[in-house]
A and B are shown apart, each in its own frame.
Chain A
């Protein structure tokens, strides 16, 4: 794992143009940004603003029309297909809105899929998969097929899959987009921990306002260009465990005690609080 504050993603004057001539569309236009290890960056913006295209370019899934993308200091825009594939498998973990699990594979084999792309599996990889499955509370679903999983479980499997090769970079596209409030906050918390506790660079494309508070930076993309972000109004409270901002209107986990009302971002935080409430102070936003 890279040391915190080390730049893992560096994008310079990146552009992606679809079509040509009068019908040309500049999906990404002269975008420059850097993301450091341990940093969680949100990319927000209206639909069709180029967020997903930018994420695809950073992940090496698309070839830019102009500009550069460096992953851990290595320029990727000139890499061949095979080299780029190996880079994605080793250095970048992807989390998608639609989960994109492979339907014929069990939870365990889905998690191990990127590891298998790098060669025959070793005991260490199997052990890591088992550890991730346990950490993400999927132990009881290890042999289940995706069709038997809930949305939240599917997304946790996708997160485990993204982490199996221990990549320093996580790219997530609307990771909470298909999840209800509680599950969405669970996943947001996990992504938050990947950045803050494990030192990974996490880039999230999202419309979900719940994630804003866990972000170190929020970038607003409009018409393919980074601009000043816009604000929206919510009835915010802070989770006493992780300090994530939670919208009272949609919060599911709320506890009332002598100190007042505690609004939690997820079941995980509520359980932590209930186990040792004296460790947390009431937070009123």
Chain B
């Protein structure tokens, strides 16, 4: 019966592929949404990952870089240097700002580049990595969205700056990074003194001791280890899409369930006479349930495979032709959704259960 089920399923290749395609599309809906949010989350923490430092010192009560504003005073920076005389302390000016002409403005995070190296763009496509006064480095996709090229001027907050460089890997829909000379940044972002936060680099194995020294010597600051900050910002970015992902997951599973159930049901309905022949020749109802189960599972697994293939083909194309969208497909998520679809296929056999139970072997006598 298993052989018959498989051969019958693939005898009508068009209908089978259409059904499997429906399952694959439902899966892709879930997987792409998840991948987009994961890609966004990866980009949100890209700045922290590429910056130096073991400890990030932020305004008291601020534990995230994403979707928050931090400010620490000059006094705090001085106390920090005093508490950790052997450590490298890098104060960073960093704040959200509107980029582009009125009516076509995008929110970006501006990074002030001072004399001290450490937080420059890590991958420059064209032009300079360190902007001079009056200059800005934009992510290439952001420049493209604004219709700007190297050498053009762009409105940043209330100023006009010349585009001196186009960076790569610094763009996300929620968190594009632009780089300004520190003086320009302070001026345009209205940060007079102090910094947004400080990045502290200590000797290997001294992170705990350094954190304790900062806590003892610097008032009104939040001390966050680099890995904790990455984790926290990543989770925050992903959670912003969490509800939507869960909703689409439910929609995706429902669509998959409908497709597989419909396929199982129509398989039984269309093959009623052949199922009757099988029953007349000696197959039991259990055998027929087994055949429908094999058919449902094959369909679901084909859908899972098609979804995997579609991702392998479409993801590089998406990265190439839609660079503003960052995607990160997760193998565990693929496994999770694939398993869900497989379980749905197991349950789908219940859809035509009544019809299977009612297969009448005497149909074989109908000429």
Interface residues of A (CB under 8 A from B): 52, 55-56, 59, 61-62, 81-82, 85-90, 94, 96-98, 100, 102-105, 109, 113-114, 116-118, 161, 173-174, 177-178
Contacts and interface: CB of A to CB of B under 8 A. Distances in A.
A62 B277 CA distance: 14
A56 B8 CA distance: 27
- Shortest 10 CB-CB distances between A and B: which pairs? A89-B282, A104-B11, A104-B8, A88-B282, A104-B7, A100-B277, A85-B282, A61-B361, A97-B367, A85-B284
Given A102-B4, A103-B11, A94 B284 contact: no
Given A94-B280, A113-B4, A114-B282, A174 B287 contact: no
A59 B280 contact: yes
Contacts of B148: none
A116 B3 contact: yes
Interface string B11-47: 1000000000000000000000000000000000000
Nearest to A88: B282
A88 B280 contact: yes
A14 to B, nearest CB: 15
Nearest to B8: A104
13 contacts: A56-B362, A88-B281, A89-B282, A90-B282, A94-B364, A96-B364, A98-B366, A103-B8, A103-B274, A114-B281, A117-B287, A173-B364, A173-B365
Contacts, number: 84
B222 to A, nearest CB: 68
B286 A82 contact: yes
A85 B278 CA distance: 10
B88 interface: no
Nearest to B281: A114
Given A103-B11, A109-B7, A96 B365 contact: yes
B283 to A, nearest CB: 6
A118 B8 CA distance: 20
Contacts of B367: 97-98, 174, 177-178
Nearest to A104: B11
A103 B277 CA distance: 11
A92 to B, nearest CB: 8
Contacts of A94: 280-281, 364
A52 to B, nearest CB: 5
Contacts of B174: none
Interface residues of B, number: 26
Contacts of A116: 1, 3-4
A113 B278 CA distance: 8
B285 A89 contact: no
Nearest to A114: B281
Contacts of B282: 85-90, 114, 117-118
Given A85-B284, A100-B277, 4 more contacts: A62-B362, A88-B280, A98-B364, A114-B281
Given A100-B273, A174-B367, A178-B367, A109 B281 contact: no
Contacts of A109: 3-4, 7
B279 interface: yes
A284 to B, nearest CB: 36
A61 B362 contact: yes
Given A55-B365, A94-B364, A96-B365, A117 B281 contact: yes
Contact of A82 (B274, B284, B366): B284
A81 B10 CA distance: 29
Interface string B253-296: 00000000000000000000110011111111111000000000
A55 B286 CA distance: 25
Interface string B98-124: 000000000000000000000000000
A79 to B, nearest CB: 12
B8 to A, nearest CB: 4
A97 B366 CA distance: 8
Given A52-B365, A97-B367, A116-B3, A61 B11 contact: no
Contacts of A86: 282
